[in-house]
């Protein structure tokens, strides 16, 4: 692909013309729903566009678990505590999509 912007890739791979507009919305969750709500709904309502495509891509499930650095040299006995890599990113009030 000629671009690394997800919305542009989806637009071109869907067979849309190169002149078609694409917008990437970067959210912790529900990005396609946010894109439709923020931009597409208004554009259809005002008659600016007739047809819209809302697409979401998820990659948060690929976030690794973090292991303490001392594990690098091994641990003989006991539990190893791992941390969720997403939790500390600062998504204040993050709530997964519901419904």
Higher pLDDT, 48 or 57: 48
Average pLDDT on 66-80 reads 85
The model's pTM is 0.47
Q: What share of the chain is helix, strand, coil (3-state, %, to 5)?
A: 35, 5, 60
Bridge partners of 83? 66
Q: What CA–CA distance (Å, rounded) separates 97 from 99?
A: 7
pLDDT at residue 34 above 60?
Answer: yes
Please say if the pLDDT value at position 92 is more than 70. no
């Amino acid at each position: 692909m000629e671009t690394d912007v997800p919305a542009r890739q989806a637009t071109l791979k869907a067979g849309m013309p190169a002149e078609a507009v694409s917008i990437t919305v970067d959210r912790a969750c529900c990005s396609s729903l946010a894109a439709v709500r923020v931009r597409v709904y208004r554009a259809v309502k005002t008659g600016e566009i007739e047809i819209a495509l809302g697409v979401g891509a998820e990659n948060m499930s690929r976030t690794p678990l973090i292991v303490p650095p001392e594990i690098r040299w091994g641990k003989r006995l006991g539990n190893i505590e791992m941390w969720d890599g997403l939790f500390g990113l600062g998504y204040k009030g993050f709530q997964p999509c519901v419904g």
